[in-house]
Amino acid sequence: MKKITIGDASRQSGVKVPTIRYYESIGLLAAPSRSGGNQRSYEPADLRRLVFIRHARELGFEVDAIRTLLTLQDDPHQSCASADAIAKARLADVEQRIRSLMALKVELETMVEGCGHGRVDQCRVIEVLADHAQCTHSHH
């Protein structure tokens, strides 16, 4: 069997080399065996784990949540209630973020549209920032 170096693992998983070492240092990925001159040598299972982690990070899961998801994956006979709860919490968070970003978008659009491209003292961008009362939304 050919040995998988950290560089190969990086290319095959899409996780950068220093990030792989970082994941090892925080215990998200088990330390692999070393071959020859102290170089890390990975197994296919490690690659799958890295892809899992990358995908979860792309979905915005925090490292702690991923830690839990990984232990669940390691023991497939457990109830998946925890995984479900984590995903639901993340979904709620994403929905909340979308709501505030939408409000923010409206506010920024008003600012940009109101800018007459003249001097700063007529600029709505600066004006709105200086005087919160001018906001269309007052939720923040």
Partner DNA sequence: CTACATCCTCTAGCGACTAGAGGTGCAAGA
Partner DNA sequence: TCTTGCACCTCTAGTCGCTAGAGGATGTAG
Beta carbons within 8 Å of 85's beta carbon, 6+ residues apart: none
Which x/- pattern over 71-110 shows residues binding a second copy (rule: CB under 8 A)? -xx-xxxxxxx-xx-xxx-xx--xx-xx--xx-xx-xxx-
Give the span between the Cα atoms of 40 and 70, in whole angstroms.
21
* Best CA proximity match to 41, nearest among 17, 5, 9: 5
Of 38 and 138, the one with the shorter C-beta distance to DNA is 38
Q: Which residues pair with 40 in a beta bridge?
A: 34
| 31 is an interface residue for a second copy by CB under 8 A | no
- Which of a second copy, DNA, none does residue 125 bind (CB under 5 to 8 Å by kind)? a second copy
- Nearest Cα residue to 4 out of 38, 36, 37, 44: 44
Consecutive H or E run containing 34: strand 33-35
Bridge partners (DSSP) listed for residue 35: 39
134 in contact with DNA (CB under 7 A) = no
Query: How many residues at the interface with a second copy, by CB under 8 A?
Result: 53
Summarize as ranges the residues that interact with a second copy (CB under 8 A). 48, 51-52, 55-56, 58-60, 69, 72-73, 75-81, 83-84, 86-88, 90-91, 94-95, 97-98, 101-102, 104-105, 107-109, 111-112, 115, 117-123, 125-126, 128-130, 132, 140
